[in-house]
Amino acid sequence: MVRQLNIRSDEGYEIAQRLGKTTTDVVLSALREYQAQQRGASACMTAPEAETNYRTLMKAVAAAHAKAPAKILTDEEMYDEFGLPK
């Protein structure tokens, strides 16, 4: 069963004409875009989720700093006698 939605707006009709679309197409497109925006807004992180993510990130950073520093190579170790990478 198809339900009917009535929009009475000269502006809406003119916009649809300028776009070369039907008013139905324009209204459906606008409703879909609005729905997508609402989904995006509800996908935002809550404060507790942000705190948990922050703590996890800080633990990872601390673990990375706790590891032994990487060895710094000298020019002789990185390049051959012709200056080309080994």
Residue 55: the pLDDT is 92
Taking the complete model, does pTM exceed 0.75, yes or no?
A: no
Residue 43: the pLDDT is 64
Residue 35: the pLDDT is 86
Question: 17 lies in which domain range?
Answer: 10-78
Distance CA 34, CA 63 (A): 43
Q: What is the pLDDT along the chain (86 residues), one digit of tens a residue?
A: 788 888 888 988 888 899 999 988 998 899 999 888 887 766 677 888 889 988 998 888 888 777 777 788 888 889 988 889 88
Distance CA 54, CA 39 (A): 24
Instruction: Work out how many domains the chain is built from and give that number.
Output: 1
Output the six-digit token pair for 6: 């009535």
Would you say residue 50 lies in a domain?
A: yes
Would you say residue 86 lies in a domain?
A: no
Distance CA 42, CA 60 (A): 28
